[in-house]
Structure 1
Amino acid sequence: MSPWHPAYILTTWFWVGRIPIAPGTWGSLAALPFGWIIMAEGGPAGLLVAAAILFAVGCWSSAAYAKGIGRKDPGSAVIDEVVGQWMVLAVLPLDVWAYGLGFALFRLFDVTKPWPVSVADRKLTGGFGIMADDVAAGLYAMAAAALLVHWFW
């Protein structure tokens, strides 16, 4: 698959996923400035709508990308990290420290994959499967972030 194919560009989130070490972490970091801009312009609802749209696009693009490079769930596919990261940011204030917290929480749940994130990671296939485990991790991180902000922010 050409690196200029739209599925390649989107799935690797503008080639960030091609960074060889910790592509998921880099993908989550690359989601932050986009999330900041969307949140500043559209608020939490706008960011969640953007995440939902990107989820749908990601189901298509990650399936095409995985097929194009011949791998089922390539680590370089980071559009799923972007969606999960944006979900968490939607419950946080527009603040650098809050975004740092959101980044850390999402990475925690994405890396540790508590149940049912681990089930989604193992059992679901195709583009939906690539996207689903990060959405599940995003839901955990959203809940944790919302509670922390409610109690301590």
Structure 2
Amino acid sequence: MSQKFHKAWLKVTALIVGSFGPVFFLGTLANTREPARLTLDLLSWPIDGATTYASPDTVFLSALTGGFLTGWGVLIWCLSEWVHDAAPEGVRRAVLASLLAWFVVDSAGSLASGNASNAGFNILVLLLAVGPLWRAAKD
């Protein structure tokens, strides 16, 4: 893989991570809540309608999650635009470390909360987000 391809893939990673942010933000509004509710229902497989946004705590956590994921996606995008050319290996390793940290903590929390299916979905998201970033570029 080339540095140029890695730089382009960082934008893919940013979109994968950041795309979850607006979905969960919309969960904070009663009339746009369904996509977030359905996403949580899917991630806690099977889809059974048991996941709701009835609790204000769920709505609040959705707001936090939406903000964090949007910000993380923007950060990855900005690293690809403003920092990558100066420190491509450092950016690659930093993004990779952040993805691995997310994977471990999110998957462990999913298992601990009885939502093992989300750990399985996390594997797919991790593989997509990391893509060619797993290996150093050769230019």
TM-score (norm. length: structure 2)? 0.35
Larger Rg: 2
* Higher relative contact order, structure no. (Cα contacts within 8 Å, ≥ 6 residues apart): 2
